[in-house]
Amino acid sequence: MEKVKSIGIDAGSTTLKIVGVEEEGKILFSVIEDADPKIEEQTDKLLGELRNNYDIENSKIVATGYGSNLIKADKKVTEITCHAKGIYEYFKTGGTAVDIGGQDNKVILISKNGKVVDFIMNDKCASGTGRFLENTSWRLKISTEKMAELAISSDNEVKISSTCAVFAESEVISQLSRGQKLEHVIKGLHRAMVKRITSMVYAIGFNPPLMLSGGVAKNKAVAQMLEEELGEKPLIPENPQIMGAFGAALIGLSE
């Protein structure tokens, strides 16, 4: 049974991520589930299941995210610190990290030594977050993956002026009712989201390379448009959703 030195738990607004690492920082396992309202019970259940395959009895546990205060852990660390740590160690470089979550965005400037230089968060409104796309996905009964495909394939786009996720959803429906093509409207929606993120990047000061984390980083349309807007092809981890939990686990190694 493999020995787990440290466990990072990222209790986000929409998903729960758990990562276990060995003493050298190599990832031994990662778990992602939709966040349950009873986050403490969900975490205990998942850790109980992991005990069947891994030695986690003496593992350090570091928690981060919205629900971190509800989780039993040896240490609680801010999301900014954990995401910066995770993505820096994954790519071994400083730069600009953009974490696009379900209900907030973070832009973090990371030094060449892996230290947080500055950061900015959009946590008061769902504009530019995963929720911005999910609302429309639910309303149109089209998956976010299909929406990304439509945005990439479209040769034109309809401007979506609303920066509010709720109003943007209504604007999308209004544009479609006027006869605008679905793919043009969807591309415009993605563009509005990306421009919101881009404005945050420029507000803090863009320092390449651009590194993405969070579930929306898997959206190919968002990645492509960020490259168009910033002139820099983003670096994306194999599993961008776990970067916060990965960083938390790495911090646990030094405890």
| C-alpha dihedral (164, 170, 173, 179), degrees to nearest 10 | -80
Give residue-wise pLDDT tens across range 67-105.
899 999 999 999 999 999 999 999 999 999 999 877 788
pLDDT of residue 133: 82
- Is residue 230 assigned to a domain? no
Most distant CA pair in the chain, distance: 61
Evaluate if residue 163 carries a pLDDT over 90: no
Q: Which residue has the tokens 């939990």?
A: 245
Evaluate if residue 172 carries a pLDDT over 90: no
What's the domain range around 22? 2-84+242-253
CA distance 138 to 183: 16
Evaluate if residue 126 carries a pLDDT over 60: no
Cα 140 from chain centre: 23
pLDDT band for position 22 (50/70/90)?
very high
- Is residue 56 assigned to a domain? yes
- Is residue 194 assigned to a domain? no
Residue length, the chain?
255
- Exposure on the CB side of residue 46, measured as CA atoms within 13 A: 24
- Is residue 90 assigned to a domain? no
- Is residue 77 assigned to a domain? yes
pLDDT band for position 31 (50/70/90)?
very high
- Is residue 205 assigned to a domain? no
Q: What is the mean pLDDT of residues 168-182?
A: 87
DSSP state of 235: B
pLDDT of residue 124: 55
Q: Which residue has the tokens 């981890």?
A: 237
- Is residue 10 assigned to a domain? yes
Q: In this structure, what CATH number is given to the domain that contains residue 26?
A: 3.30.420.40
Opening angle at CA 91, ends 251 and 147, nearest 5: 105
pLDDT, greater one: 51 or 131: 51
Contact by Cβ (8 Å): 157, 188: yes
Give the long-range contacts of residues 87-93, CB within 8 A, separation 24 or more: 87/211, 87/213, 87/237, 87/243, 87/247, 88/114, 89/25, 89/114, 89/246, 89/247, 89/250, 90/237, 90/243, 90/246, 91/209, 91/211, 91/235, 91/237, 93/209, 93/211
Percent of the chain with pLDDT over 70: 95
pLDDT of residue 129: 67
- Is residue 37 assigned to a domain? yes
CA distance 190 to 185: 9
Q: How many separate domains does the chain show?
A: 1
CA distance 38 to 43: 9
CA distance 7 to 21: 6
Q: Which residue has the tokens 């995401």?
A: 83
